[in-house]
Each structure stands twice: as C-alpha cells, then as structure tokens.
Structure 1
Amino acid sequence: MSKPISELRKGMSKERLERIAKKTEALKKEMALQELRQALNMTQAELAEKLHVNQAAVSKYENQSDLYISTLRRILSSMGGELRITAHFAEGDVVINQFHDANLEPA
C-alpha cells in the first residue's frame, strides 16, 4: 500500500530533507517551455490564441531546440513572464541588455 509523502518525510534525516529541498528549488528554476506552460495550467490552444498562431505552431516551438530570441520573448510574455538573458562567469553574472528591443524579428 502506498504511503502519503508526509509519512515518508517523517523517517528522513534533516540532511536528506535539506538535500531534497535544494534539488526541488533547482528543478523549479529549470523548465522546458512545455513544462512551464503546463505548470501555468495553460493549454497549447490557449497559448496559441494569445500568440495569434495555431496550436501546431505552439507544439513546434515547444519541440525546437533553437528559437529566435524574439519568439521566445513573445512566448514568455504571452505566459505572463519576461525574458532576461544572463551570462554566467566565474567572476560573476552579466545581464545582456542588447535584446531589449521588442522590434526584433517576429515569431
């Protein structure tokens, strides 16, 4: 018989619970577009309507590994988000502001 997660957690050490919490936070910060859309309880059809494209186009976007920055910006904006591009270096992070112009090539 399956047990509720609360019961499983009771038997875990504090260290293990902390590791799980850290891993959970890391996973929340990394999502594919499809996972993000689903987490927002949005269907492909709903997103397509907001983007003024058909559902097949949304499916294509979600399965592409290489999107225009402008397309990604439009998708995220339609989901209620904002695209920020950050370069990570050993010395620190740098926000790339070259792509703030909303008039980039459309989706």
Structure 2
Amino acid sequence: MAVTHDEIMARLPQERQDRIKARAAELYAEVEGLKALRLLARRSQEQIAQSLGIKQPSVLKIERQTDLYLSTLRRFVEAAGGTLELRVELPGTGPFTLTGLGDIDTRDAA
C-alpha cells in the first residue's frame, strides 16, 4: 500500500517538519520568471498587454526573455499590479534597496 506525504511527514521529528515547512515557504515565495509572476497576480497576457499599451504576442516575447532592461521589468511588474524593488547585499554592508534604476529619464539632454 502506498504511503502518503502526510504520513511520511507525521513520522518525522517535529523539528525536521518545521524546517521542511519553512523551506517550502521560502521556495513558494520565490517566483521563477515573469509568466509565474503574471499568473500569481491573476492577470492574463492580454490584460498585461493592455496595461503596457502593446499587443499580446509582445507580452509572450517579454515573458520568454532572460535578459531585460530594468525599465521593461519595472513596467511589467507594475502592469501586474506590483512594484519593483531592487535589493542589493554587499559583504559587510547588509541589504539595502537600490533606487532610481529602471526609471525612464524624461529630462531633456543638454
């Protein structure tokens, strides 16, 4: 007879169960790719396209890209209803938020 996941977990010491649950929560919090982000936001490609002022095939192309401009990523995240924050961690400094990247500069070039 097959053993279920719940049965296996119940046999483990509570400390191990807690570590497994914590790691599962970490993995769940990570989102792999823009498609997953869009699905998490419960938005269709068409809805994202409308927000960005582009056509749906362009959203598909953006989702498949592995190298994006930060401005494109920021606009995509905002179209999904979120905000983009770039977190940097350097040795000896601790984490900090890097701002101003990905913003479109609308100032006139002199």
- Please tell me the TM-score bracket, short chain as reference: 0.7 to 0.9
Q: Kindly state the Cα deviation for residue 63 of structure 1 after the two structures are TM-superposed.
A: 1.0
What's the CA shift string for 1:39-93, capped at 9, x where partnerless?
2222212211211111111111111111111111101111111111121123211
**Mapped partners of 1:55, 1:68: distance in 2:** 19
Q: Which has the larger radius of gyration?
A: 2
Matches within 5 A, 1:41-52: 41-52=42-53
Match in the other structure for 2:86: 85
Gaps of 5+ in 2: none
Match in the other structure for 1:19: 19
Matches within 5 A, 1:1-107: 9-31=9-31, 32-91=33-92, 92-99=94-101, 101-103=103-105
> Which 10-residue stretch deviates more, 26-35 or 52-61?
26-35
Assess, with a 3 A threshold, how the Cα gap between structure 1 residues 19 and 45 changes in structure 2: closer, same or farther. same
Q: Kindly state the Cα deviation for residue 20 of structure 1 after the two structures are TM-superposed.
A: 2.2
**What is the alpha-carbon root mean square deviation over aligned residues?**
2.5
Structure 1 SS opposite 2:76: helix
Gaps of 5+ in 1: none
Normalised to the residue count of structure 1, the TM-score between the two structures is 0.76
How many residue pairs get aligned? The number is 104
- AA in 2 matched with 1:26: E
Assess, with a 3 A threshold, how the Cα gap between structure 1 residues 76 and 2 changes in structure 2: closer, same or farther. farther
Sequence identity (%): 31
Q: Kindly state the Cα deviation for residue 100 of structure 1 after the two structures are TM-superposed.
A: 6.5
- AA in 2 matched with 1:56: P
- AA in 2 matched with 1:65: T
